[in-house]
């Protein structure tokens, strides 16, 4: 039996295109969450240095002026900004899951960096598959990014945005006995009235369904489009129709899908705070565990490659195998066994 503890999900606008100011604001939110008794705080998708909404508002070629600044303000591993976030986690005795644009030798990734309460890094994951036009900005992760980690608070995992619409990705996470899940979202204010799937109803429901499907607590952090962001990116009447201010719908859900904690208006900043009692997971698991007693592995199974897939590998690496094209098996999304 474990003791209940508090967690926090951030609903706030980023310091757009200003990494240092974003880290300053993050530290204030970390301190606020800790002062309210939270042991874990979750931040929105690419909150440092902000989600690049401009990619949805114009042709890719027209967005090239943003590229140098966005790249320069995307965080680098072991940088001063990285160390400041680690120090904030340690000084406040709180775990932090930060949504970042992660610069790795010039290639950007949609990352979630998980700091332990001791300031040590628990994980640095990459979004497995950036969504739609995001692929003009970001690279892809691999199977090693789909991991749930043991911590002093429980088993914690994380996914970004529409990774929560990927059934196999969810199943891979559920299979690792995930108890607390961080769902990092940007904001829900794009193409209102024209793309229902991008709105808060569908995507908040995705976080809620994740909780009840996986019998876990879900911290759904969500950003806001600020006045400054709107004025910078929406410089024509057409763009002003495509992206709206606000759009914050941070939520926390229990393992039965029940909403927990306070609700913040979509145009306001703050923290959603809720109590987590891991003992409640047993009730959900008793009814429906999709990777346990409620599964049918004789009918359906997931093939899951957890190994890293680096673009360069040492020749003598045990995973580096020379396979002829004649002998190689074709990759198929589904393997069917008959008889």
Which three-class secondary structure string do you get for 192-246? CCCCHHHCHHHHHHHHHHHHHHHCCEEEEEEECECHHHHHHHCCCHHHHHHECCE
- One-character DSSP codes across 34-46: HHTTEEEEE--TT
User: pLDDT tens string for the chain (339 positions)?
Assistant: 789 999 999 999 999 999 999 999 999 999 999 999 999 999 999 999 999 999 999 999 999 999 999 999 999 999 999 999 999 999 999 999 999 999 999 999 999 999 999 999 999 999 999 999 999 999 999 999 999 999 999 999 999 999 999 999 999 999 999 999 999 999 999 999 999 999 999 999 999 999 999 999 999 999 999 999 999 999 999 999 999 999 999 999 999 999 999 999 999 999 999 999 999 999 999 999 999 999 999 999 999 999 999 988 888 766 655 444 444 455 555 444 454
Q: Any catalytic annotation for residue 161? A: yes
Choice among 6, 25, 39, 127 that is catalytic: 127
- Return the closest-CA partner of residue 146 out of 158, 155, 138: 158
pLDDT of residue 321: 53
Q: Any catalytic annotation for residue 45? A: yes
- DSSP three-state, residue 47: coil
End-to-end CA distance of the chain: 46
The answer to whether the CB of 186 falls within 8 A of the CB of 46 is: yes
Rounded Cα distance, 149 and 177, in Å: 10
Residue 193 CA: distances (Å) to CA of 95, 188, 200: 38, 12, 12
How many other C-beta atoms are found inside a 10 Å radius of the C-beta of residue 165?
Answer: 16
Domains and CATH numbers, the chain: 5-287 (3.60.110.10)
CA angle 30, 34, 40 (to 5 degrees): 75
Rounded Cα distance, 58 and 96, in Å: 34
pLDDT of residue 327: 45
Choice among 160, 161, 222, 291 that is catalytic: 161
pLDDT of residue 336: 46
Contact residues for 224 (Cβ-Cβ < 8 A; gap 6+): 11, 12, 13, 187, 245, 246, 247, 248, 266, 267, 268, 269
Residue 26 CA: distances (Å) to CA of 170, 252, 275: 28, 19, 22
pLDDT of residue 339: 43
pLDDT of residue 328: 46
Q: Residue 202 corresponds to which tokens in the numbers above? A: 């569908």
Q: Any catalytic annotation for residue 127? A: yes
Choice among 6, 25, 45, 244 that is catalytic: 45
Task: Please give the model's pTM, rounded to 2 decimal places.
Answer: 0.93
């Amino acid at each position: 039996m474990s003791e209940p503890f508090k967690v926090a999900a951030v609903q706030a606008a980023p310091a757009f295109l200003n990494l240092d100011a974003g880290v300053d604001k993050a530290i204030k939110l970390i301190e606020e969450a800790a002062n309210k008794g939270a042991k874990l705080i979750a931040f929105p998708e690419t909150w440092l240095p902000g989600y690049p909404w401009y990619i949805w508002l114009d042709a890719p070629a027209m967005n090239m002026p943003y590229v140098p600044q966005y790249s320069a303000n995307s965080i680098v591993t072991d940088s001063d900004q990285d160390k400041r976030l680690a120090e904030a986690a340690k000084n406040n005795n709180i775990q932090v899951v930060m949504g970042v644009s992660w610069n790795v030798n010039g290639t950007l990734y949609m990352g979630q960096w998980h700091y332990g309460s001791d300031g040590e890094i628990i994980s640095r994951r990459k979004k497995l598959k950036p969504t739609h036009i995001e692929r003009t900005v970001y690279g892809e992760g691999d199977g090693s990014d789909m991991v749930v980690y043991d911590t002093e608070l429980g088993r914690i995992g994380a996914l970004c945005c529409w990774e929560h619409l990927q059934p196999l990705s969810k199943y891979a996470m559920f299979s690792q006995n995930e108890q607390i899940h961080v769902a990092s979202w940007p904001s829900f204010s794009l193409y209102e009235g024209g793309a229902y799937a991008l709105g808060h109803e569908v995507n908040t429901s995705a976080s809620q369904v994740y909780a009840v499907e996986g019998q876990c607590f879900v911290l759904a952090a969500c950003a806001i489009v600020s006045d400054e962001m709107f004025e910078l990116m929406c410089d024509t009447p057409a763009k002003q129709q495509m992206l709206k201010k606000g759009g914050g719908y941070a939520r926390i859900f229990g393992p039965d899908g029940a909403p927990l904690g306070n609700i913040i208006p979509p145009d306001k900043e703050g923290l959603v705070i809720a109590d987590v009692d891991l003992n409640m997971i047993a009730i959900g698991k008793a009814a429906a565990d999709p990777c346990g007693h409620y599964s049918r592995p004789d009918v359906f199974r997931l093939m899951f490659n957890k190994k890293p897939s680096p673009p360069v590998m040492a020749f003598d690496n045990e995973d580096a195998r020379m396979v002829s094209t004649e002998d190689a098996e074709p990759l198929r999304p589904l393997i069917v066994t008959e008889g």
